[in-house]
Amino acid sequence: MKMMKPYVWLQTSDDSIQQVEQEIAMFCPLICQEIIQKGMGSSKNCAICLPQQVSPAMLSLILDYCRFHQVPGRSNKERKSYDEKFVRIDTERLCELTSAADSLQLKPLVDLTSRALARIIEGKTPEEIRDIFHLPDDLTENVEVEEEHVDDRSVDDLLSFINGNDGGKLNILTILIFVFT
């Protein structure tokens, strides 16, 4: 007789209960803990209650991800190109997915979606970022962070100071004074 239970029962945030392949679901550390430590999920009556962040739509996305990566023998190239396509969804769903993956402690997916979100932010002005994510512009004006701040002394001063009369040889003491003033 086969001893392994191939399916596990999961309850999502809308209180609906569904059956999924245990092997796939075990990819999520949170579900894995519930099964191994608490013996949950073996029947509909003791379905594993997933965190609030996991809607049925997100669960199905996450299981797709796990299903792909669970298959052995895939090359790194295949995995990479799958991952790339996987996060090509609108930003709202991407945020939702990040949050759901985080609540299931699925670190590889959290990293993947976080990097995708970072790529969206990359190279954009604050205005553009606010537009994309609908962020409120609720900061008082003038809290602009200086991007580049160079030493007050002009470089020519510094050069002549360092080069000094010493024929270009660096003097440790002058440099130290420089650093601490």
Q: Which stretches of the chain bind another protein, using CB under 8 A?
A: 91-92, 95-96, 98-99, 102, 110-111, 114-115, 117-118, 121-123, 126, 129-130, 133-139, 143-151, 155-156, 158-159, 162, 170, 172, 175-176, 178-179
The CA-to-CA distance between both ends of the chain, in Å, stands at 79
CB contact at 8 A, 70 and 28: no
Instruction: Select 44 or 115, whichever has its Cβ closest to another protein.
Output: 115
Shortest distance, position 84 Cβ to another protein, whole Å? 15
Instruction: Select 24 or 101, whichever has its Cβ closest to another protein.
Output: 101
**Which stretches of 93-157 are assigned E, i.e. beta strand?**
none
Shortest distance, position 133 Cβ to another protein, whole Å? 4
Distances (CA, A) of 168 to 26, 159, 162, 164: 66, 9, 7, 7
